[in-house]
Amino acid sequence: MLIKVKAAHEIPSSEITPESVYRARRAFLKGAGVAGAGLLAGPVLGQEASGTVASPNNSPEALNLASKPQWLVEQVAARQPVPDEGLFTTGEMLTPFQDVTTYNNFYEFGTDKSDPSRNARAFKVDPWTVEVTGAIGKPGTYTLEDILKPHALEERIYRLRCVEAWSMVIPWVGFPLGDLIKRFEPTSKAKFVEFITLIDKNQMPGQRSRLATIDWPYREGLRMDEAMHPLTLLAVGLYGDILPAQSGAPLRLVVPWKYGFKSIKSIVRINFRETMPNTTWSDLQPNEYGFYANVNPAVSHPRWSQATERRLPGSLFMPNRIGTLPFNGYAEAVADLYKGMDLRKLY
C-alpha cells in the first residue's frame, strides 16, 4: 500500500489509463503545495494507494448491471475533462476504484459496507424513468434519455465525507442539477426539492429484510438554492464509466459539502414543493441527523466527534486520519447559503 509517488515521467503509459486517473495524479502532484501549506491536515504525501489506481473492469457484470445502455456509455465517454484546478477538483489523491465500489452505503442492498457490491446483482437500469412532479411547469414521467440527452457531461473530482467519519475522493461524471431543474420550469412555490429512490423488493434485498429500520423508499431533499448551486451534481458515472449498481446507478445526487447521506442513489422521483420534505435519516434519528447535514467539524455527532475523518483507503495500522474541513472544504463556495443560520441547531 505504501508506494512512493513516481514522477510523472516515470509512469509507464500502461499505468496512466483511464485518463481521469492521469489527470488526478497530476492534480495531486500539483496539490502537494496546497497540502504543504497546511490547508489539509495529514496529507498522504509520498503514498499512492495500490501503486496505481486500477482501470475499472467495466463489463456489465463487473458493474453489477443487467446491461449498459450504449448511448449512455458513449455520453459518459464524451465527458468534458476536469479542470486542473478550481472548485471541481481537489488536488488530492483519488480513492481507488476498488474502494469506491466495494465500501458503500446503500441500505437497499444491505447494511454492511460490502453488501451493496455483493448483493446488487444484474441491477436493471434500462429502461429507467424519473417522475417529476410538484411546483413546476413541466411535470411528467421522463426517460433517462429525456433527462440526460440535452446535457454535456463533465468529470468532477469531489470529496465525499460520510457522517460516519470516513471520506473518499471520487472522480464523478455528471452535470449540474440546476441545469436540469431549469428545464422543468419551477414556479415561485418551489422552495424545496425532494428526491426518492427506487423501491423494488425483487432487486433490493434490504427492502425485503424484516430487520430493516428504514421506511422505504429512501428519501432526501434540498432547499431550492442548494439544489441550484453549481457544485450540486447529478452523477451518472464514475471513473470514466457509467455508475455501478452499488454506487447508485443510473442516476444519483452528489452534494459534496454535505454528509454523504444527502447524496441519494438510484433516483426515480423528483418532487418540487413549498415545504421542507421529510428525509430518511432525520426521520429515523432526528437528534443525530438533520435536514441540512452540512459537513461541520465543530458540531459532533451525539456518539462521535466530526473533527476528523478516515480518508480511504486506510488500514488498522495506517488509518490515514485527517482533519475535517468546514463544509468539507467547499466553504468559500457555499457558506453564504447559510448566512444568519445557527448551524449548531440546524445541523
Binding site for ligand MTE (CB under 6 A): 104-108, 160, 162, 197, 218, 247, 260-261, 263-266
Closest distance between ligand MTE and the C-beta of residue 109, in Å? 8
Amino acid at the residue 109: F
Residue with cell 488536488: 91
Pick the closer one to ligand MTE by CB: 135 or 254.
Answer: 254
Query: How many residues would you count in the chain?
Result: 347
- Nearest distance, CB of residue 265 and ligand MTE, angstroms: 4
Q: Is 133 exposed, middle or buried (0-12, 13-18, 19+ CB in 10 A)?
A: middle
Instruction: Return d(Cα 201, Cα 203) in angstroms, integer.
Output: 5
**Cα Dmax for the chain:** 57
- Closest separation between CB of residue 196 and ligand MTE, Å? 9
Q: Assign 199 to helix, strand or coil.
A: coil
Q: Which is nearer to ligand MTE, 108 or 309 (CB)?
A: 108
Nearer to ligand MTE, 176 or 260 (CB): 260
Closest CB 115 distance from ligand MTE, rounded Å: 10
| Phi then psi dihedrals of residue 159, to 5 deg | -80, 140
Q: Select 175 or 239, whichever has its Cβ closest to ligand MTE.
A: 239
What are the grid coordinates assigned to 291, written together?
435536514
The values of phi and psi at residue 132, to 5°, are -115, 120
Confirm if 241 and 100 have CB atoms less than 8 A apart: no
For ligand MTE, the closer of residues 85 and 112 by Cβ is 112
| φ, ψ at 237 (rounded to 5°) | -155, 165
What is the smallest separation between the CB atom of 243 and ligand MTE, expressed in angstroms? 9
Nearer Cβ to ligand MTE, position 48 or 108? Answer: 108
The smaller minimum CB distance to ligand MTE, of residues 49 and 160, is found at 160
Please count the other Cβ atoms lying within 10 Å of the Cβ belonging to residue 285. Answer: 12
Side chain identity, residue 256: P
Name the residue with the smallest CB distance to ligand MTE.
Answer: 260
SS3 139: coil
Contact 177, 195 (CB under 8 A): no
> Angle at the Cα of 103 (from 102 to 109), degrees rounded to 5?
80
Shortest reach from residue 162's CB to ligand MTE, in Å: 4
Q: How far is the CB of 258 from ligand MTE (least distance, A)?
A: 10
